[in-house]
Structure 1
Amino acid sequence: MIRETGIDARVANIIEPVLEALGFRLVRVRLSGLNGLTLQIMAERFDGTMTVEDCELVSRTVSPVLDVEDPIDRKYHLEVSSPGIDRPLVRKSDFADWQGHIAKVETSLIHNGRKKFRGRITAVDAESVTIESDQASYGGDPVVQIPFDLVADARLILTDDLIRDALRKDKALREGRIPDDDAGSLEEQVEDESGAGGNDADRNRS
């Protein structure tokens, strides 16, 4: 649904087939001015899990591919991470999976008099997402239906309910699908970073 542009899109086109061959799904690519220049690659397994070892595997695999294709003509820092609990919402299915939780949504064009929305995801269909404001507002509609075609950026807002739900899902995945893998769990993320981020692996590229 939300696609990268410019250099981000070039990198995404290069690494997405590589990630899929490894069993991962690309969530987002973003080139930022952090630490000089940082290429942030966010990925996860198709079941939604992502361990520290997974991040390291992705980093080791995509690094030589990016060296060969050379989409960035300057020295940069490569950062591979999981989406984290307060994850970006980049597919229609992301909104459906996290229905009931609070999200921030920014639109590419003015919609209902504004471009920024915050509220609980109350409904999702093939064409749009409905957001119900969780904060008192004056003059604005408390419930807004936003067409997916207008969504430019969206992410979950970290709340106690989100942390509890994410931990339940993580536990169910690990007990039901990957019971022998106890590395890089969401519980560790909450302890280490209060749930704000995910596992990551860094390396410098030139």
Structure 2
Amino acid sequence: MSKVTSIIEELVTPITDELNLELVDIEFVKEGRDWFLRIYVDTPVGGIDILQCAQVSERLSLVLDEKDPIEQNYYLEVSSPGAERPLKKESDFEKAVGKFIFVKTYEPIKDMKEFQGYLRAYTEQSLEVEIRIKTRKVTVQIEKEKVAQARLAIDFSDKQI
């Protein structure tokens, strides 16, 4: 986590807690010439709506104007993490057991660095993901320290498009 995202997490957490929302992720990224501060929030049940995002945005804007923790100009965006929400915290992984996920690793495991499949088990040390290789289902053990990125995914394999 960068210094900016750590500072922003400290500033936004009281707001999300007060509104009974879950802080999912924070990004501070440069795209082209512009910087973007993206805050992803959700509700424990039922999903978030645009009014809740607006509440977080308005309250956080006031705090950011007062504290001014970021030197450069940036755009603030507050939104839902969407259907393919990132898995970052222990609780994210625990809730994702049984769900279809995407995992990218820092180094190859079984000659692969990207896995899509069902998260069958999770511990603090590893993930167990059931993937499909052609017509076979294979379970892959992935050490948590090797995970570069993980998120929920949409399984289109059994659906007709």
TM-score w.r.t. length of structure 2: 0.79
How many residue pairs align between the two structures? 155
Cα distance between partner residues in 2 of 1:150 and 1:13: 27
Is 2:143 the counterpart of 1:147? yes
**Residues 14 and 112 from structure 1, CA distance in 2 versus in 1: closer, same or farther, beyond 3 angstroms?**
farther
Cα distance between partner residues in 1 of 2:140 and 2:49: 36
* Structure 2 unmatched runs, 5+: none
Cα distance between partner residues in 2 of 1:48 and 1:126: 27
The amino acid across from 1:25 in the alignment is: E
Cα distance between partner residues in 1 of 2:156 and 2:110: 30
Of the three residues 53, 56, 60, the one matched with 2:54 is 56
The amino acid across from 1:53 in the alignment is: L
Cα distance between partner residues in 1 of 2:2 and 2:103: 18
Equivalent residue number for residue 73 of structure 1: 71
Aligned Cα root-mean-square deviation (Å) = 2.7
User: Residues 85-119 of structure 1: CA distance to partner in whole angstroms, max 9, x if unpaired?
Assistant: 11111223323323333222234566566654332
SS of the aligned residue for 1:85 comes to coil
Kindly state the Cα deviation for residue 158 of structure 1 after the two structures are TM-superposed.
Answer: 2.1
Over the matched positions of the two proteins, sequence identity in percent amounts to 31
Bigger relative contact order, structure 1 or 2, given CA contacts below 8 A and separation 6+?
1
Answer 1 or 2: which has greater strand percent: 2
Superposed, which structure 2 residues align to 1:163-202 within 5 Å?
Answer: none
Cα distance between partner residues in 2 of 1:33 and 1:156: 24
Equivalent residue number for residue 106 of structure 1: 104
**Residues 135 and 69 from structure 1, CA distance in 2 versus in 1: closer, same or farther, beyond 3 angstroms?**
farther
Answer 1 or 2: which has greater helix percent: 1
* Structure 1 unmatched runs, 5+: 137-141, 162-206
Q: Is the 8 A contact 1:58 1:80 kept in 2?
A: yes
Q: Is the 8 A contact 2:15 2:56 kept in 1?
A: no
Is 2:72 the counterpart of 1:86? no
Cα distance between partner residues in 2 of 1:154 and 1:5: 19
Superposed, which structure 2 residues align to 1:130-145 within 5 Å?
Answer: 130-136=128-134, 142-145=138-141
